[in-house]
Amino acid sequence: MRWSAAFLLAALAAVPALADNVYKVDFQIRDGSGAGNATRHYTMLINGGTKGTFKTGSRVPVATGSFQTADGKPNPLVNTQFTYVDVGVNIDCTLTERATGVGLYANIDLSLVAPPEKDAPPAPSPTINQIRFTLNADVQPGKSTAITSVEDPVLLKRFEVVATVTKVN
Protein backbone atom coordinates (compact mmCIF):
# COMPACT_ATOMS: atom_id res chain seq x y z
CA MET A 1 0.00 0.00 0.00
CA ARG A 2 1.36 3.42 -0.97
CA TRP A 3 0.82 6.47 1.19
CA SER A 4 0.48 9.83 -0.43
CA ALA A 5 2.68 12.67 0.74
CA ALA A 6 -0.40 14.69 1.73
CA PHE A 7 -1.69 11.80 3.88
CA LEU A 8 1.67 11.39 5.64
CA LEU A 9 1.96 15.13 6.32
CA ALA A 10 -1.58 15.22 7.72
CA ALA A 11 -0.84 12.20 9.94
CA LEU A 12 2.36 13.79 11.25
CA ALA A 13 0.58 17.08 11.95
CA ALA A 14 -2.00 15.22 14.05
CA VAL A 15 0.70 13.78 16.36
CA PRO A 16 1.78 16.19 19.12
CA ALA A 17 5.30 17.37 18.45
CA LEU A 18 7.11 16.31 21.61
CA ALA A 19 10.29 18.14 20.63
CA ASP A 20 8.35 21.44 20.47
CA ASN A 21 7.47 21.16 24.18
CA VAL A 22 10.03 22.69 26.51
CA TYR A 23 10.09 21.69 30.16
CA LYS A 24 11.85 23.13 33.18
CA VAL A 25 13.10 20.36 35.46
CA ASP A 26 13.96 21.28 39.04
CA PHE A 27 15.83 18.77 41.18
CA GLN A 28 16.12 19.24 44.93
CA ILE A 29 18.64 16.97 46.61
CA ARG A 30 18.16 16.97 50.37
CA ASP A 31 20.83 15.74 52.71
CA GLY A 32 18.78 14.85 55.78
CA SER A 33 21.64 13.37 57.78
CA GLY A 34 22.92 16.52 59.45
CA ALA A 35 21.45 19.12 61.73
CA GLY A 36 21.24 21.64 58.87
CA ASN A 37 19.34 19.38 56.46
CA ALA A 38 21.08 20.99 53.48
CA THR A 39 19.16 21.14 50.19
CA ARG A 40 20.85 21.65 46.85
CA HIS A 41 18.86 22.89 43.83
CA TYR A 42 19.58 22.10 40.18
CA THR A 43 17.47 23.34 37.26
CA MET A 44 17.62 22.64 33.54
CA LEU A 45 15.46 23.32 30.48
CA ILE A 46 14.87 20.30 28.27
CA ASN A 47 13.05 19.83 24.98
CA GLY A 48 10.72 16.87 25.32
CA GLY A 49 12.30 13.66 24.05
CA THR A 50 15.86 14.98 24.31
CA LYS A 51 18.51 14.46 26.97
CA GLY A 52 19.69 17.13 29.36
CA THR A 53 22.98 16.84 31.24
CA PHE A 54 24.14 18.78 34.28
CA LYS A 55 27.61 18.36 35.79
CA THR A 56 29.17 20.29 38.61
CA GLY A 57 32.19 19.44 40.73
CA SER A 58 35.79 18.52 40.10
CA ARG A 59 37.84 16.08 38.09
CA VAL A 60 40.08 14.21 40.53
CA PRO A 61 43.30 12.60 39.24
CA VAL A 62 43.80 8.96 40.17
CA ALA A 63 47.16 7.30 39.46
CA THR A 64 46.56 4.20 37.31
CA GLY A 65 50.09 3.15 36.46
CA SER A 66 53.69 4.17 36.07
CA PHE A 67 56.53 3.31 33.75
CA GLN A 68 59.63 1.59 35.03
CA THR A 69 62.98 3.31 34.95
CA ALA A 70 66.08 1.77 33.39
CA ASP A 71 66.94 0.02 36.66
CA GLY A 72 63.49 -1.70 36.67
CA LYS A 73 62.06 0.17 39.66
CA PRO A 74 58.79 2.12 39.39
CA ASN A 75 59.23 5.85 39.56
CA PRO A 76 55.84 7.40 40.51
CA LEU A 77 57.14 10.95 40.31
CA VAL A 78 58.22 10.94 36.67
CA ASN A 79 56.18 8.67 34.43
CA THR A 80 52.83 8.20 36.11
CA GLN A 81 49.60 7.67 34.17
CA PHE A 82 46.40 9.22 35.51
CA THR A 83 42.70 8.73 34.99
CA TYR A 84 40.40 11.58 35.95
CA VAL A 85 37.20 10.83 37.86
CA ASP A 86 34.25 13.25 37.90
CA VAL A 87 33.37 14.05 41.51
CA GLY A 88 30.35 16.15 42.48
CA VAL A 89 26.83 16.06 41.07
CA ASN A 90 26.11 14.58 37.65
CA ILE A 91 22.52 14.48 36.35
CA ASP A 92 21.36 13.04 33.02
CA CYS A 93 17.64 13.50 32.39
CA THR A 94 15.21 12.62 29.58
CA LEU A 95 11.49 13.45 29.48
CA THR A 96 8.67 11.80 27.53
CA GLU A 97 5.02 12.79 27.46
CA ARG A 98 2.67 10.05 28.61
CA ALA A 99 -1.06 9.79 29.09
CA THR A 100 -0.50 9.70 32.86
CA GLY A 101 1.78 12.75 32.99
CA VAL A 102 5.44 13.18 32.09
CA GLY A 103 7.88 10.28 32.12
CA LEU A 104 11.11 11.27 33.84
CA TYR A 105 14.15 9.08 33.21
CA ALA A 106 17.18 10.18 35.20
CA ASN A 107 20.67 9.09 36.17
CA ILE A 108 21.82 10.97 39.25
CA ASP A 109 25.35 10.49 40.54
CA LEU A 110 26.47 12.10 43.82
CA SER A 111 30.12 11.59 44.71
CA LEU A 112 32.84 13.08 46.87
CA VAL A 113 36.42 12.43 47.84
CA ALA A 114 36.41 10.76 51.26
CA PRO A 115 38.40 12.56 53.91
CA PRO A 116 41.46 10.59 55.08
CA GLU A 117 41.18 8.59 58.27
CA LYS A 118 42.61 10.37 61.29
CA ASP A 119 46.31 9.55 61.76
CA ALA A 120 46.31 7.37 58.63
CA PRO A 121 49.18 7.63 56.15
CA PRO A 122 48.25 9.31 52.87
CA ALA A 123 46.73 6.90 50.37
CA PRO A 124 48.31 6.66 46.90
CA SER A 125 44.87 7.29 45.34
CA PRO A 126 41.82 8.97 46.82
CA THR A 127 38.82 7.04 48.09
CA ILE A 128 35.66 8.22 46.35
CA ASN A 129 32.25 7.83 47.98
CA GLN A 130 29.39 7.53 45.50
CA ILE A 131 25.61 7.23 45.47
CA ARG A 132 24.01 6.61 42.09
CA PHE A 133 20.32 6.56 41.21
CA THR A 134 18.85 5.37 37.93
CA LEU A 135 15.11 5.80 37.81
CA ASN A 136 12.10 5.99 35.55
CA ALA A 137 9.04 7.66 37.11
CA ASP A 138 5.81 9.33 36.06
CA VAL A 139 5.44 12.83 37.47
CA GLN A 140 2.58 15.31 37.23
CA PRO A 141 3.59 18.64 35.67
CA GLY A 142 3.87 21.40 38.27
CA LYS A 143 3.77 19.00 41.22
CA SER A 144 6.84 18.26 43.36
CA THR A 145 7.43 14.51 43.52
CA ALA A 146 9.88 12.61 45.72
CA ILE A 147 11.44 10.33 43.13
CA THR A 148 13.95 8.51 45.32
CA SER A 149 15.26 8.31 48.87
CA VAL A 150 18.13 6.37 50.39
CA GLU A 151 19.80 5.90 53.75
CA ASP A 152 23.41 5.00 53.14
CA PRO A 153 24.88 2.92 55.99
CA VAL A 154 28.45 3.42 54.73
CA LEU A 155 28.36 7.23 54.54
CA LEU A 156 25.83 7.48 57.38
CA LYS A 157 23.81 9.87 55.24
CA ARG A 158 20.20 10.09 54.14
CA PHE A 159 19.37 11.55 50.73
CA GLU A 160 16.05 12.41 49.14
CA VAL A 161 15.61 13.61 45.56
CA VAL A 162 12.52 15.66 44.68
CA ALA A 163 11.73 16.58 41.07
CA THR A 164 9.34 19.20 39.72
CA VAL A 165 8.66 19.23 35.98
CA THR A 166 6.93 22.30 34.58
CA LYS A 167 5.89 22.83 30.97
CA VAL A 168 7.36 26.13 29.76
CA ASN A 169 5.52 26.55 26.44
**Residue 132, φ and ψ in degrees, nearest 5:** -130, 130
pLDDT of residue 56: 92
**With b meaning 16 or more CB within 10 Å and e meaning fewer, what string describes 54-76?**
eeebeebeeeeeeeeeeeeeeee
Q: Which of 115, 147, 113 is nearest to 130 (CA)?
A: 113
Ramachandran angles phi, psi of 97, nearest 5°: -80, 135
* Average pLDDT for 25-43: 83
Residue 4 reports pLDDT greater than 80: no
Task: Decide if 32 is inside a domain.
Answer: yes
Instruction: Kindly state the percentage of the chain with pLDDT values over 90.
Output: 36
Instruction: Evaluate whether residue 78 is within a structural domain.
Output: no
127 in any annotated domain = yes
**120 inside domain:** yes
Structural domain range at position 25? 17-55+87-167
Is 98 among the domain residues? yes
107 neighbors 136 (Cβ within 8 angstroms): no
Does residue 2 lie in a domain region? no
Domain contains 114: yes
75 lies in some domain: no
Q: Each residue of 117-161: pLDDT tens digit?
A: 777 777 767 888 888 999 999 999 999 999 998 887 776 778 899
Could you give the number of structural domains in the chain? Answer: 1
